[in-house]
Amino acid sequence: MFSSSVRAIALAGAAAALTVGISGSANAVPDTMDAPYAQAAARINTNGAIQASKGIDTVTRPQVGTYCVSFTKNLNLAQTAPQATVESADFGVISVITRPHGWCGSEQGTLTVIIRGQDGLRKDLPFTLAIP
């Protein structure tokens, strides 16, 4: 019914989801996203698990509605224009911080993603991220 490549991608996603459930962070998966013009891109689940990605090393969720994204190569994030979109029927406002931020340990090369619901409070929602 499904090709072996579809099964492999599904298994990789399941392994990433299991890792998030246990440790609160998603380990890098091999590039599984077709994004030829992006330096990095990802589809991230509510819990921070990487569904598909290109150039993403890890995603952690240190607190509700806060995600920390690190990359497989050194990107000068201050010189990028990240694109992020909430991928949910629930309303959400997404913000991306390109400078080192305390919510993500003030780590160089780590992008901080904040999602808020209609009430203005941080909320866990799935999202996509691309760095052209």
How does the average pLDDT of the chain come out, rounded? 83
Which pLDDT does position 91 carry in this prediction?
Answer: 86
- pTM for the full model? 0.76
Please name the residues in contact with 7: beta carbons below 8 A apart, sequence gap of 6 or more.
none
Asked whether 50 and 36 are in contact (CB, 8 A), the reply is no
Which pLDDT does position 49 carry in this prediction?
Answer: 95
pLDDT mean over 64-76:
96
- Between 113 and 20, the more confident residue is 113
